[in-house]
Amino acid sequence: MNRFELLNNLQNILNDNLVICNIGLPSQELYKINDQSNFFYMLGSMGLSSSIGLGLSLSQTKQVISIDGDGSVLMNMNTLATIGNRAPSNYTLLIIDNGSYGSTGDQRTFTDEKTSLKDVAIGAGCKKVIECSGEETANELSKAIDDKNNSYVIISKINSGNVKIDPIPLNPITIRDRFRKFIGSVKYL
Amino acid sequence: MKISKKIVDNLKKGGVDFYVSVPCKLLANMIDILEKDKDIYYSAVPREEEGMGICAGAYLGDKFPCIMMQNTGIGNSVNAIVSLLQLYQMPVIFLISYRGTPGEPVGAQGGMAKVTEDILQTLRIPMLHCSSVKDIDKIPTFSNHAKVVESPVAILCDFNLMKDDR
């Protein structure tokens, strides 16, 4: 299973929740599969999907899913310590771990060598850490969202590989405003 | 403690209700005050760039966020400021202890001090420079300005303003 197939598989779960999606191909694929106003597509700031989602989950009560990648988490690894110590139960970090920098030409990341993000997350203080296959991810993500007492870090181990895709045509303010309207943060739209 | 309390009071008066910090000894009193304040959210974060991301999420969730840090933290955060906070036009307050300004005993802090305002100017970030107690009264209006222009803004607190605030 590659990332495009995984994101396709997760649609029913993502539909009802606030989703922060990582820059590059993950956002472009999510947009192509099923664009929704409750999806916040990152157009910059690689590494910060987990952090944006954490800030959002601390600020309101709806369920938040940060879709991140192994390369991006490696870039902002301190995020796992903050999540381990501060994440509320309405927060789930889904790390799509394909062992490669997919958006930049599939160069290998360190999770394809010796690094285990599961072990890092546990060491950083995250209590509920699940590593699973792409096929098991929908079920694990569902269970994580249904658990109202805990936040989760789910590491979905999939194959690398991308589909041919266009950049997202939405402008950033459109992404921002329709997302905030979905939450109820703006009244003027 | 008086100056730190006055800064926090003015930030709250400006509507700021979500705070993260990477510590500085000049911010220590403010951190103490915020940790005990049940009306707002406060947490430490390990790195400024990450804090920018957390503030972006807090803004999406309808909070008015502030990141407290040394001026060195601006150096760690340039891409997050430009390609997240400015790209999506997110109002966030940077409350910056301005290390390396006159009174600073640590010579090595001078390097970032020399370029801090140039970096903020290059990024077109509005600045409020607090060098005396009366400047602190400008914080509520300046904070509101961040919301009006939908932009991150920077409040720089000089070493000499903060150093005697025991």
In chain A, where the domains are located: 3-183
* Cβ-Cβ contacts under 8 Å, A43 against chain B: 83, 87
For residue A13, give Cα distances in angstroms to A10, B34, B108, B112. Answer: 6, 37, 51, 46
Is 2.70.50.60 the CATH classification of the domain at A3-183? no
Above 90 in pLDDT, residue A162? no
Mean pLDDT of A47-51: 98
Distance from CA of B27 to the nearest CA of A (A): 20
Does the interface predicted TM-score (ipTM) exceed 0.95? Answer: yes
Residue B100 Cα, gap to closest chain A Cα (Å): 27
Q: Which pTM value belongs to this model?
A: 0.98
Residues in B touching A49 (Cβ below 8 Å): 53
User: Counting one residue from A and one from B, how many pairs have CB atoms under 8 Å apart?
Assistant: 115
Q: How far is CA B87 from CA A25, A72, B43, B84, B114, in A?
A: 19, 19, 25, 5, 27
All domains of chain B in start order, with CATH: 2-162 (3.40.50.970)
Span A109-118, average pLDDT: 98
What local confidence, expressed as pLDDT, does residue B1 receive? 86
Mean pLDDT of chain B: 97
d(CA A162, CA A164): 7
Tell me which amino acid residue B136 is: I
Tell me the DSSP string of A137-165: HHHHHHHHHH-TT--EEEEEE--------
Q: What pLDDT is recorded for position A10? A: 98
A122: pLDDT confidence band, cut at 50, 70 and 90? very high
User: What integer is the mean pLDDT of B60-83?
Assistant: 98
Residue A83 · residue A91 · CB < 8 Å? yes
Cα(B97)–Cα(B158) distance, rounded to whole angstroms? 7
User: What is the spatial distance between Cα A131 and Cα A118, in angstroms, rounded to a whole number?
Assistant: 7
Angle at B25 between CA B22 and CA B28, to 5 degrees: 75
Structure confidence at residue A115 (pLDDT): 98
**B166 pLDDT more than 80:** no
